[in-house]
Chain A
Amino acid sequence: AQTVTQSQPEMSVQEAETVTLSCTYDTSESDYYLFWYKQPPSRQMILVIRQEAYKQQNATENRFSVNFQKAAKSFSLKISDSQLGDAAMYFCAYRRSGGGADGLTFGKGTHLIIQP
């Protein structure tokens, strides 16, 4: 079974600074997707960024970028120029590719605090 581990229950960063959230996962699959979701206090999950395992290039979405290390099964999220609106729970998630079962497997989350 796949597992996703987020070892940082809480992280704090000064506004405008950069922060990196860690995520490791375990799978025997070779092709899969990885995601970072944001869950603000209103509790609606929002996709931040996704990465296809077959792509070597790290995904980037504006101030958000990932460091995907397939061999190490590591998938960290870097947030540059942190803003107050970035404060939320961040969840790392895994999904195998192809047909069949494709529910997301989530980590326990990291609570990100932005210090003004």
Chain B
Amino acid sequence: DTGVSQNPRHKITKRGQNVTFRCDPISEHNRLYWYRQTLGQGPEFLTYFQNEAQLEKSRLLSDRFSAERPKGSFSTLEIQRTEQGDSAMYLCASSLNPNTEAFFGQGTRLTVV
């Protein structure tokens, strides 16, 4: 499978715990994006990387959220001290460059109880 891969697919965690999600983009895709999608809403942009550089962070990305993309390959999104409001689908997408199609992964569904 050469598409965007996200792990885990589902995560249930207790409030206050830390969680980390992983995204493996399509090989050679320089751009990697993270989005959050809550029930009944469209995805909301969180942040994106050009290779290993994080170029923009949405105001939605509070201090409890951090994303990395070491070596410009896979990326991780960590949420510290999770809150119930963090429950959502977290989507990752990648593209070859800014002007080409973004391919999405299947997402990680986070449930905070």
Contact = CB atoms under 8 A, between A and B. Distances in A.
A42 B56 CA distance: 29
A71 interface: no
B74 interface: no
Contacts of B104: 37, 44-46
A91 interface: yes
Contacts of A46: 104
B43 interface: yes
Residue among A93, A104, A106 with the most chain B CB within 10 A? Answer: A104
A73 B104 CA distance: 26
B95 to A, nearest CB: 9
A45 B43 contact: yes
Interface residues of A, number: 24
Contacts of A102: 48, 98
B56 A108 contact: no
B42 A44 contact: no
Interface in B29-72: 33, 35, 40-48, 55-56, 58
Given A42-B106, A44-B104, A97 B99 contact: yes
B105 A91 contact: no
A103 B99 contact: no
Interface in B93-108: 93, 98-99, 101-107
A103 B45 contact: yes
Nearest to A102: B98
A45 B35 CA distance: 12
B42 A103 contact: no
A99 interface: yes
A51 to B, nearest CB: 13
Interface of B: 33, 35, 40-48, 55-56, 58, 89, 91, 93, 98-99, 101-107
Interface of A: 4, 37, 42-47, 50, 91, 93, 97-109
17 contacts: A4-B42, A43-B106, A45-B93, A46-B104, A50-B101, A91-B42, A97-B99, A102-B48, A103-B33, A103-B56, A103-B58, A104-B33, A104-B43, A104-B102, A106-B42, A106-B43, A108-B41
